[in-house]
Structure 1
């Protein structure tokens, strides 16, 4: 297969494969031997990409803010938080609104935890671990969230994550796993939107190559709906987003 300058498949060749999920391809940043400088640049650039692709303000308004109050701190868990930019942004939005929130951001990769630890706030806790660790500790949260984790998982790993989520969601809480929806439109849009920045803003990082790989690994809405147990529901969002939801969408009084 022909490759582009960033080492990925050519645009037309990649677009032709998107009818099926390609779980064989791997993101460069998942390599334990990934260049540490490039990895650090990737974590630090995620905030720019996620403002557009993952839309933390929209996540906050739909899923987090309805569960916050001025009198007590709600708890949010971000599973596979990477560099921590998305939960950090949500914490700042809650602070702006005078609402109380405590965030726990976990990732099994110590390199990600080190990157997330650059954010300093007594209500923001970055730690190494996975969802099973917190289940074993008896933790519960008002919001259990993940972003761009699902496409990394095998079927068995997906089932384990969803079972853990059901245990981690407190009564009246919500579990939401956000991801990309695979499609030619999503692939072309990301390819075109990141191209002008490939040699400047994203230079020396894995953002462009890994973002395109992520789309190839991702599910469509019907695929994801067919892969999850009863009680979970799939919602489509913008741009080319999927949200896998468990629990009450309206908080208890």
Structure 2
């Protein structure tokens, strides 16, 4: 019998989130994409990532290119481009996702200068000869099988010229309880609450990620609830 003391001790990678199901309700899925900006603003710590790791690479004369793998509804690339523009810096961002539903939602948003969306995964981008200064992802790693995670990290190393940042949830009982209590208002009509709880159960601890990432990758805490995988290609500069 599972007790509170043992709950979340092990990663539950076999769970299936409703948004990942091809037959999930399309209206609930669209409402989930629409609510991601608020969720990411509250918990995902991309303001810190931008300030500490991305902004030092930007300039006001030469655009930096950035790729968001598994971009979902495309909220992150829009936010990063807006933030750079407010700082008077140039950023050209591409959001890529192989899911046609995510791509359709992202491209249905108002057009934004400096933002492009592609329906593709990392392997397809590599096959197409693409490369970017910075490669990022948000809340993607826990969705992947061991083989898919290894492939994404390998592809990221080859896609990025200067920096890779993969941000994901850190599994903990406190994170689960706070999400359970605090995010239920975003649940009705969407998959935010149920899938968010499943995401925490599927996510990694810092020790677990350190045990499986290839040489050259760092696993660091990113705020209270997240872990950040960081990779700097040889000769790619510092951030």
- How many residues align? The count is 237
- CA RMSD between the two structures: 2.0
User: For 1:18-54, what per-residue CA distance to the aligned partner results, in whole angstroms no more than 9, with x for missing partners?
Assistant: 0000011111001101101000000000001000111
CA contact (8 A) 1:63 1:143 kept: no
- Aligned match for 1:244, one of 218, 229, 236: 229
Normalised TM-score (structure 2):
0.94
Which residue of 162, 169, 173 maps to 2:160? 169
In the alignment, does 2:57 pair up with 1:67? yes
Partner Cα separation in structure 1 for residue 226 and residue 5 of structure 2? 18
Cα distance between partner residues in 1 of 2:230 and 2:69: 14
The residue aligned with 1:116 is 106
Distance in 1, Cα, partners of 2:159 & 2:138: 17
| Cα distance in 1, alignment partners of residues 5 and 170 from structure 2 | 14
TM-score normalised per structure 1: 0.89
User: Is the 1:45–1:202 Cα contact (8 Å) retained in structure 2?
Assistant: no
| Structure 1 range deviating more: 215-224 or 138-147 | 138-147
**Are 1:78 and 1:105, in contact at CA under 8 Å, matched by a contact in 2?**
yes
Q: Which stretches in structure 2 are left out of the alignment for 5+ residues? A: none
Per the alignment, do residues 18 and 97 of structure 1 end up closer, same or farther by CA in structure 2, a change over 3 Å counting? same
Work out whether 1:79 is the aligned partner of 2:64.
Answer: no
Q: Distance in 1 between matches of 2:137 and 2:53?
A: 12
Within 1, Cα distance between the matches of 2:110 and 2:40?
16
Q: Does 1:192 align with 2:181?
A: yes
Contact 2:45 / 2:222 at 8 angstroms: preserved in 1?
A: no
Matches within 5 A, 1:1-253: 16-117=6-107, 118-170=109-161, 173-195=162-184, 197=185, 201-247=186-232, 251=237
Alpha carbons 1:181, 1:242 under 8 Å: kept = yes
Give the Å deviation of 1:13: 6.4
SS of corresponding position for 1:21: coil
> What CA deviation, in whole Å up to 9, does each residue of 1:129-181 have, x standing for no partner?
001111112222111000011001111111101110110111xx110110001
Shift, 1:63, TM fit: 2.2
